[in-house]
Amino acid sequence: MSCLIVQSDKTLLLEVDHPQAEECRRAIAPFAELERAPEHIHTYRVTPLGLWNARAAGHDAEQVVDALVTYSRYPVPHALLVDVAETMARYGRLRLVKHPTHGLVLETTDRPVLHEVMRSKKIHPLVGGRIDEDSVIVHPSERGQIKQVLLKLGWPAEDFAGYVDGEAHPIELCEDGWALRPYQRQAVEGFWHGGSGVVVLPCGAGKTLVGAGAMAIAKSTTLILVTNTVSARQWKHELVRRTSLTKDEVGEYSGTRKEIRPVTIATYQVLTTKRKGIYPHLELFDSRDWGLIVYDEVHLLPAPVFKFTADLQARRRLGLTATLVREDGRESDVFSLIGPKRFDAPWKEIETQGYIAPADCVEVRVNLTDSERLAYATAEADEKYRYCATTDTKRRVTEALVARHRGDQTLVIGQYIDQLDELGEHLDAPVIKGETTNAQREKLFNAFRAGEISVLVVSKVANFSIDLPEATVAIQVSGTFGSRQEEAQRLGRVLRPKADGHEAHFYSVVARDTIDQDFAAHRQRFLAEQGYTYRIVDADDLLAGDELDEL
């Protein structure tokens, strides 16, 4: 019997323990999104956006239908197969092109579709006069906006309008003693062939080098947007090390420095700083004739930058991320404004090739004490998570895990500062949080990399773009509620390949019978889609020492 049940409501039920499960998961991953991942049956859903992403990445309806039919235990509902084919056929019936006399034009291969969308009141302000029955002039400044609107109308436009080259600047990869890995090269080629779009790679798989590879093809001035100053300096270090760029050619545009160079690395934070109702630093987008804009951790793109990106459609745009999941549901904006997914490598596939470390994921469930249970039961809704996420039992479990991995480079990660301060005190470990200066952060990160510090307690400031290849163990005590993207990033802190080949350990300490447990299940969904499974152990057994040998 096959491993997949395909249902008419577009849900796919995958039997995890089936011999074909891994093969099937790889086949459906390009077009289906994981919704629930309990022990035995994982639930995926086929969505229009997933199908359009697959279409943009070069998959056709025949491949999707073949995957469903091949792995389905029962006959696939005919209506679903028809719907898949018709949904994917919607992509590209409208195209944005550059007309020799009329400039930017929306044209169609299916005349009634153009007539249909032209009836929308949201389209009227974005277009000019009709050229003929199959094409209409689009105001050049509305290239991004019209793509957003058309996507919402269910007719995603394929953008063939091309890109300006921007200001030329020589950039070469210096592959001296190293070379782009095969999947990194495929990612660069997929992006460049598509013009703009998103590359999805696991944490630790070298997304920065994909950015460098794209820059080496573009050979133009480049604006790189990153999550924080530490990340900006890591990017600069890698670019100077891996390319022909010198330190003087790479500028940092952050809260402390305002350097505009041929390659400029800016933080999202400075771009979204608001003064008297305006965003003064968004002018950075116009400060040079950029040929390429790179969005690191594109799943975190703030709304004001999204808005400005709508005006940047003539520039090549590369989004880099480990997961396209956005908790605010704005995946469609990433698709229309940055571009569709151009390359996606499953985490386990990269692990099998030896480029990221294998990881053992363990959920340690703790019981609240009677007094904690009472406090939790009577807490206001917005305080419940804090009560269960900061239970004192978590501190004792964390101490036991750190002791178990004594000598390993260990990160303790959490959300609540008072909880982290207490852990830092008990573990005799430094704490990095929002108020820690950038200079102090870099000093502590460098000490951790050098092995001078073996345990580091970090808040969510270390979730993203922090390169700590020596980290072997991560212990998560609290998080941003049910954030799947945060779970992926936190596991990513320990996935850099280890010199000795050892596997990584990722512990999530969870309070039983509370919303902490519910959030944990939601957080784990994306990683389950990538093939990771969580073992569940009881904290009481762990503290008694019964589980330590197994761990």
The DSSP code sequence of 285-304 is GGSS--SEEEEETGGG--HH
- How far is the C-alpha of 63 from the C-alpha of 56, rounded, in Å? 13
Q: H or E element: which one contains 82?
A: helix 78-90
Dist CA 147 CA 435 (whole Å): 40
Give the tokens for residue 435. Answer: 């108020």
Report the C-alpha gap between 303 and 148 in whole angstroms: 14
In terms of Cα–Cα distance, which of 342, 294, 335, 463 is closest to 58? 342
State how far the alpha carbon of 486 is from the alpha carbons of 70, 324, 489, 523, in Å: 34, 12, 5, 8
* CA angle 497–493–389, rounded 5-degree value: 145
What is the layout of strands, in order, in the sheet containing 32-36? 4-6, 11-15, 41-46, 32-36
Q: Tell me the per-residue pLDDT of 189-215, one tens digit each, with 9 for 90 and over.
A: 999 998 899 998 888 889 999 999 999
The structure tokens listed for 412 are 């303790």
Q: What is the pLDDT of residue 366?
A: 93
User: Could you tell me the two tokens for 139?
Assistant: 């105001």
316 close to 293: Cβ distance less than 8 angstroms: yes
Residue 52 has pLDDT above 90, yes or no: yes
| 21/6 Cα distance (integer angstroms) | 14
What pLDDT, on the 0 to 100 scale, is given for residue 315? 94
**Distance of alpha carbon 87 from alpha carbon 291, whole angstroms:** 33
Q: Model's pTM, two decimal places?
A: 0.84
How sure is the predictor about 352, in pLDDT bands with cuts at 50, 70 and 90?
confident
At which residue do the structure tokens 């086949």 appear? 27
Question: Which pLDDT band, with edges at 50, 70 and 90, does 403 fall under?
Answer: very high
Least confident of 34-38, 225-229, 246-250, 257-261: 34-38
Contact present, 12 and 45 (Cβ < 8 Å): yes
Specify the amino acid at residue 156: P
Percentage, residues of the chain above pLDDT 70: 96
**Region for residue 289 given its phi and psi (left: phi exceeds 0; alpha: psi -120 to 50; beta: otherwise):** beta
Phi, psi of 432 (to 5 degrees): -110, 125
- pLDDT tens-digit readout, 314-328: 999 999 998 877 777
Residue 498 DSSP label: P
Who has greater pLDDT, 468 or 551?
A: 468
Q: Which tokens hold the place of 17?
A: 């323990």
SS3 content of the chain, % helix, strand, coil (to 5): 40, 20, 35
Residue 435: pLDDT band (50, 70, 90) is: confident
Asked whether 475 and 413 are in contact (CB, 8 A), the reply is yes
Q: What's the whole-number mean pLDDT along residues 94-121?
A: 94
How far apart are the C-alpha atoms of 251 and 260, rounded to whole Å?
A: 6
Higher-confidence residue of 90 and 492: namely 90
> What are the contacts of 110-113 at 24+ separation with CB within 8 A?
113/155
Question: What band does 310 get if pLDDT is binned at 50, 70 and 90?
Answer: confident
Residue 461 has pLDDT above 80, yes or no: no
CB count, 10 Å around CB of 27? 19
Unique residue bearing structure tokens 């072997």: 472
Report d(CA 396, CA 423) in Å as an integer.
9
3-state secondary structure of 453: coil
Please give the backbone phi and psi of residue 135, each rounded to the nearest 5 degrees, phi first: -155, 150
pLDDT of residue 542: 76
pLDDT of amino acid 463: 64
**Alpha carbons 347 and 359: distance in angstroms, whole number:** 11
The three-class DSSP label of residue 252 is strand
**Mean pLDDT of the chain, nearest integer:** 89
pLDDT at 547 over 70: no
Q: Both tokens of residue 115?
A: 């007539």
Give CATH superfamily name and number for 182-350: P-loop containing nucleotide triphosphate hydrolases (3.40.50.300)
Q: 339, 192 in Cβ contact below 8 A?
A: no
CATH of 357-544, one of 3.40.50.300, 3.40.50.2300, 3.30.56.10, 3.40.50.10260: 3.40.50.300
Q: Over the stretch 371-399, which tens digit does the pLDDT of each residue have?
A: 889 989 998 988 888 888 898 889 999 99
Phi, psi for residue 481 in degrees, rounded to 5:
55, -125
pLDDT at position 39 is 67
**The total number of residues written for the chain in this structure:** 551
